[in-house]
């Protein structure tokens, strides 16, 4: 369930123009001029759904001179609002720590884009118009509907997962007297919450630009798989008479649908990452998205967060034969 129907607002694709492919820019100048680094943001390319920004990432460092660079930073604000900051200049040794380089000459230019629903594409707009659109976005962010989505998910995740032992005891799970109905009610509640509360929260994050579609899509795919697992487990449990005690041995020989469904949920709720081994990127799951915003030193400190991500990537590399392994943290 989406608040603002993001299917109507596609992401703005950013393609790169690699300046290192131009010999005259590589070999004969250790600096860029404004005319070297002009992005392509014309209405013609925007109608096709993309823009082209220059990049230069060669590590051609000259002692005492430094190295030129060109890059860009994307700020997705959600609701079809995107800021792209193009930056170029020189890097030299950091005088405080000469193991690293830092920018010494920086030239920045900011580009603002907004999705035009009438035209069905993005357009480049001026700063004042963008600020007005951004103010309206912030107003929507603080509406009752958005607050409700966040509160519902926080309350659900806190009770269902962070305090799951207490919750499972409340649902009479895991004891010798646990019935098939106990598990069936548990799966029905999980199914309903995942289909409404969890989906709405993820869609909220995507609507307002807190996550990209590259993060949203694997989480939604996992939800769909879990819903199928919950249905299979519930169908197995509901075939038995009311009040009958759950038989774990019988369930195991019937495909272990109950245990498998409960274990599979951990892949969504327990903080972790899908690892893009080829590109060395970590894609957070729902649990990681939520806990990474909590007031925790492990997640709030930038260095600790980067170490956590790097650790996940290294663990993912060790899982041979998988293009996108999952690593639980």
Same domain, 315 and 176: yes
Looking at residue 57, its pLDDT comes to: 87
Same domain, 217 and 126: no
Same domain, 163 and 184: yes
Same domain, 197 and 321: yes
Q: Which of 90, 118, 141 is the last residue of a domain?
A: 141
DSSP state of 136: H
Q: Which residues neighbour 78 within 8 Å (Cβ) at sequence distance 6 or greater?
A: 137, 206, 207, 208, 209, 210
Same domain, 169 and 98: no
**Total number of domains constituting the chain:** 2
Report if residue 91 sits inside a domain. Answer: yes
Same domain, 256 and 171: yes
- State the angle between helix axes of 199-207 and 213-237 in degrees (0 to 180), rounded to the nearest 10: 170
Q: Which of 99, 116, 141 is the last residue of a domain?
A: 141
The answer to whether 327 and 315 have CB atoms below 8 angstroms apart is yes
The answer to whether 70 and 29 have CB atoms below 8 angstroms apart is no
Looking at residue 216, its pLDDT comes to: 93
**Residue 296, token pair as written in the block:** 């925790």
**Residue 81, token pair as written in the block:** 């609002």
Compute the distance between CA of residue 17 and CA of residue 54 in angstroms, rounded to an integer.
Answer: 4
Report if residue 1 sits inside a domain. Answer: no
Compute the distance between CA of residue 109 and CA of residue 128 in angstroms, rounded to an integer.
Answer: 15
> 15: burial class by Cβ within 10 Å (0-12, 13-18, 19+)?
exposed
Domain of residue 72, residue span = 6-141
Same domain, 162 and 123: no
Report if residue 56 sits inside a domain. Answer: yes
The answer to whether 136 and 60 have CB atoms below 8 angstroms apart is no
Q: Which long-range contacts (CB under 8 A, 24 or more apart) does 254-259 make?
A: 257/229, 257/232, 257/233, 258/183, 258/233
Report if residue 54 sits inside a domain. Answer: yes
Report if residue 33 sits inside a domain. Answer: yes
Local mean pLDDT, 10-residue blocks, the chain (329 residues): 57 95 79 93 97 90 77 95 95 68 85 94 97 95 94 95 92 90 96 94 93 92 95 97 94 94 92 89 93 68 75 86 82
Same domain, 182 and 284: yes
Same domain, 72 and 186: no
Same domain, 91 and 174: no
Looking at residue 3, its pLDDT comes to: 47
Report if residue 126 sits inside a domain. Answer: yes
**148 membership: H or E segment, kind and range:** helix 144-157
The answer to whether 69 and 89 have CB atoms below 8 angstroms apart is yes
Q: Which of 97, 117, 141 is the last residue of a domain?
A: 141
Same domain, 247 and 297: yes
Q: What are phi and psi of 270, to 5 degrees?
A: -75, 130
Looking at residue 139, its pLDDT comes to: 94
């Amino acid at each position: 369930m989406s608040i603002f129907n993001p299917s109507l607002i596609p992401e703005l694709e950013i393609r790169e123009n690699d300046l290192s492919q131009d010999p005259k820019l590589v070999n004969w100048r250790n600096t860029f001029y404004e005319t070297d680094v002009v992005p392509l943001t014309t209405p013609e390319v925007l109608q096709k759904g993309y823009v082209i920004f220059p990049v230069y990432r060669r590590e051609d460092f000259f002692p005492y001179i430094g190295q030129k660079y060109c890059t860009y930073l994307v700020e997705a604000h959600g609701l079809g609002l995107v800021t792209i900051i193009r930056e170029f200049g020189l890097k030299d040794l950091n005088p405080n720590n000469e193991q690293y380089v830092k920018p010494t000459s920086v030239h920045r230019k900011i580009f603002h884009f907004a999705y035009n629903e009438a035209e069905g594409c993005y357009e480049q707009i001026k700063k004042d118009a963008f600020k007005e659109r951004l103010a309206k976005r912030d107003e929507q962010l603080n509406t009752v509907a958005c607050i409700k989505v966040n509160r519902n998910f926080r309350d659900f995740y806190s009770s269902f997962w962070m305090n799951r032992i207490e919750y499972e005891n409340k649902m009479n799970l895991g004891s010798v007297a646990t019935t098939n109905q106990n598990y069936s009610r548990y799966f029905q509640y999980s199914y309903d919450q995942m289909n409404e509360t969890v989906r709405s929260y993820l869609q909220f994050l995507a609507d307002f630009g807190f996550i990209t579609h590259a993060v949203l899509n694997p989480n939604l795919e996992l939800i769909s798989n879990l819903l199928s697992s919950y249905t299979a487990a519930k169908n197995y449990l509901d075939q038995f008479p009311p009040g009958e005690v759950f038989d774990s041995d019988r369930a195991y020989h019937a495909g272990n649908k109950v245990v498998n469904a409960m274990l599979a949920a951990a892949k969504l709720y327990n903080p972790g990452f899908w690892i893009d081994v080829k590109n060395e990127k970590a894609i957070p799951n729902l649990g990681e998205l939520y806990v990474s915003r909590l007031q925790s030193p492990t997640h709030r400190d930038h260095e600790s967060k980067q170490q956590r991500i790097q650790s996940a990537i290294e663990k993912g590399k060790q899982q041979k034969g998988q293009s996108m392994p999952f690593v639980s943290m």
